[in-house]
Amino acid sequence: MSENIIIFDTTLRDGEQSPGASMNLEEKIQVAQQLERMNVDVIEAGFAIASEGDFEAVRAVARKMKKASVASLCRANRKDIDRAWEALKEAKKPRIHTFLATSDIHVKLKLQKTHDQVRQAAVDAVRHAVGYIDDVEFSAEDAARSNVSYLCEVIEAVIEAGAKTVNIPDTVGYAIPDEFGALIATIRERVPNIDRAVLSVHCHNDLGLAVANSLAAIQAGARQVECTINGIGERAGNASLEEIVMGIRTRHDHLKVHTGIKTEEIYRASRLVSGITGILVQQNKAIVGANAFAHEAGIHQDGMLKDPTTYEIMTPESVGIKESSLVLGKHSGRHAFRKRLEDLGIELTDDEIQTAFVAFKNLADRKKTVYDEDIEALIAEEILRLPDRYKLVSVTFTSGTGVVPSATVEMEVEGKTLTRAEFGDGPVDAVFKAIKKICKSRAKLLRFTVSAITGGADALGGVTVRIKENGYTIIGQGASPDIIVASARAFINALNKLEYRKRNVMEEERPTL
Ligand code: KIV
Ligand code: ZN
């Protein structure tokens, strides 16, 4: 029997640190539930001391998870650890994850401490955390650029202090696979008590090597990998969960390890995270990209028809990709709708189902066929929204050849109805100007993307906007059969998220990594 690799997902913590990606409480719970459905072993739900919002998210996820361990990140000091424990204490399986940098660059320039002081602080932090719970993980931040002898000393000391998992991050994505594998092998050789802890890795993707480094580490004896859905995360992101898991499954013959992940849930997790964060998955992304299983060349198509194994090393079904199925139409009833939500793994309260059903009926009146993707977009639009400050009431516009584009937007802002008409370079520009005037916003539009959620001329249009105000970058999304309405919704969604962000992050308190 091959050995198990523990899958530690940090989409809700490191993933949420991606520029522009921010999730509200409801959205984090949805993602956590999907991770648990997928059988992820450990879910890092946030950085409890970072903000009220992070704290509440860790606490809510901790309360909800039935099988998965739930971790909160904390710096190596008592205040952070106490806060993490406060958020985690109701979890069935809580894990305190404390970290401190060990590279010379970080020790001298960032922490401005001596190496002895850092080693002692790491030990003190782990001892303090072990006072709350056995399951304590220590991460040696920037381990890949640390002096190996010093790193081994710190690892030995934190294991002695009670750490059950020791994580070796390549924080800046600097390592090369054979070098990183050799580092893991050296740690296993040189740290005398290493068999008392699980050796973990956490790789960033600055050189595009995060997954390769993680697999090299597994070959050298690491038994936990930290990763995110779609590889989202700081800068170029983290190692992608789906690539690691499918690499392990597809090349079991070579790697001779396994994971407990239900791979058929991967695609749904990828879509959920992309839908919520607004970070689109590149078309040719391995495993979950739109082209990952598309065969264009004639020779390939011919081979596929004769036998799929000619050009396919794994099946789309194994990651949960099925033909987009025609599900419901305007004659479908409440029962069929509820059943479809269940099949899609969408858990809603009775009131939410009622709201979603009304929205579905409206959509089905305008669109002949409603696909799974439409239902997912509709749920994101109608149910997973933040407690909104700004609401769109109506939008009308004129545009075309020979007219100056203009738009009139009516919105509800904290109970008051406000209307504004504007001209613009195009209808979208006019709509955005009117929304900004109503919301008294100075937000700058950085990016605007439109995509068809399903095929056909009557497809739902999905709009993603990226805006910036006061140093915050936020992504907003909207969907509608009318792309101007979808644009208005996306812009208002971004402004609402911005409000939420401003309320929930006390910037001066937000720790930096
Ligand atoms: O990249 C990193 O070093 C981290 C640690 C805090 C685990 O995210
Ligand atoms: Zn990281």
Distance of CA 471 from the midpoint of ligand 2 (Å):
22
Q: Is residue 66 part of a domain?
A: yes
Confidence bin at 386 (pLDDT 50/70/90): low
Q: Tell whether 242 and 334 lie within a shared domain.
A: no
CA–centroid distance, residue 145 to ligand 1 (Å): 13
Task: Give dist(CA 85, CA 395) in Å, integer.
Answer: 47
CATH of the domain at 442: 3.30.160.270
Q: Which residues line ligand 1 (CB under 6 A)?
A: 14, 73, 99, 139, 141, 167, 169, 171, 202, 204, 513
Helix axes 115-130, 78-88, angle to 10 degrees: 30
> What are the tokens at 26?
């409801």
Which residue owns the Cα nearest ligand 1 atom 5? 141
Averaged pLDDT score across all residues of the chain: 91
| Same domain for 476 and 328 | no
Phi, psi for residue 72 in degrees, rounded to 5: -125, 140
Note whether 34 and 168 are same-domain residues.
yes
Atom of ligand 1 nearest to the CA of 143: 3
Assess whether 79 and 217 both reside in one domain: yes
Looking at the fold, whether 205 and 330 belong to one and the same domain comes out as no
Last residue in a domain, options 317, 341, 361 = 361
Residue 367 falls within a domain, yes or no?
Answer: no
Residues 337 and 455 in one domain: no
Residues 242 and 190 in one domain: yes
Both 412 and 465 in a single domain?
Answer: yes
* pLDDT digit string, tens, across residues 99-151: 999 999 999 999 999 999 999 999 999 999 999 999 999 999 999 999 999 99
Ligand 2 center–CA 238 separation, angstroms: 7
Distance CA 468, CA 7 (A): 34
Give residues with Cβ within 8 angstroms of 411, minimum separation 6. Answer: 390, 391, 392, 393, 417, 418, 419, 435, 438, 439, 492
Q: Is residue 51 part of a domain?
A: yes
The verdict on residue 131 lying in a domain is yes
Residues 343 and 213 in one domain: no
CA of 64 to the centre of ligand 1 (A): 25
Say if residue 333 is exposed, middle or buried (CB neighbours under 10 Å; 0-12, 13-18, 19+).
exposed
pLDDT higher at 246 or 455: 246
Note whether 239 and 146 are same-domain residues.
Answer: yes
pLDDT tens for residues 185-230?
Answer: 999 999 999 999 999 999 999 999 999 999 999 999 999 999 999 9
Q: For position 199, which CATH number holds?
A: 3.20.20.70
Ligand 2 centroid distance, CA of 227 (Å): 9
Question: Atom 8, ligand 1: which residue's CA is nearest?
Answer: 14
> Which ligand 1 atom is at minimum distance from the Cα of 169?
3
Whether 259 is in a domain gets the answer yes
Same domain? For 162 and 223 the reply is yes
Question: Does a structural domain hold residue 381?
Answer: no
pLDDT at 491: 95
Cα–ligand 1 centroid distance for 479 (angstroms): 35
Ion ligand 2: residues, Cβ under 5 Å: 14
DSSP strand pairing (406-413 vs 390-398): antiparallel
Three-state SS at 236: coil
In the predicted structure, residue 154 carries a pLDDT above the cut 60: yes
CA of 101 to the centre of ligand 1 (A): 9
Domain with 47, as residue range(s), is 3-277
Ligand 1 atom with the shortest distance to the CA of 73: 6
369 assigned to some structural domain: no
Q: Residue range 437-456: average pLDDT? A: 86
Give the contacts of 500 (CB within 8 A, at least 6 positions apart).
22, 24, 53, 386, 387
Name which of 457, 418, 469 is nearest 439 in CA terms: 418
The pTM of the whole model exceeds 0.85: no
Index of the ligand 1 atom closest to the CA of residue 13 = 8
Q: Which ligand is nearest to the CA of 142?
A: 1
Q: How many domains does the chain have?
A: 3
Q: Are 28 and 150 in the same domain?
A: yes
Testing ligand 1's pocket by substitution, the residue of 99, 146, 199, 203 carrying the most ligand atoms inside 8 A of its CB is 99
For the beta sheet containing 406-413, the strands, ordered from the edge strand earlier in sequence to the opposite edge, are 390-398, 406-413, 416-423
Residue 220 lies in a domain: yes
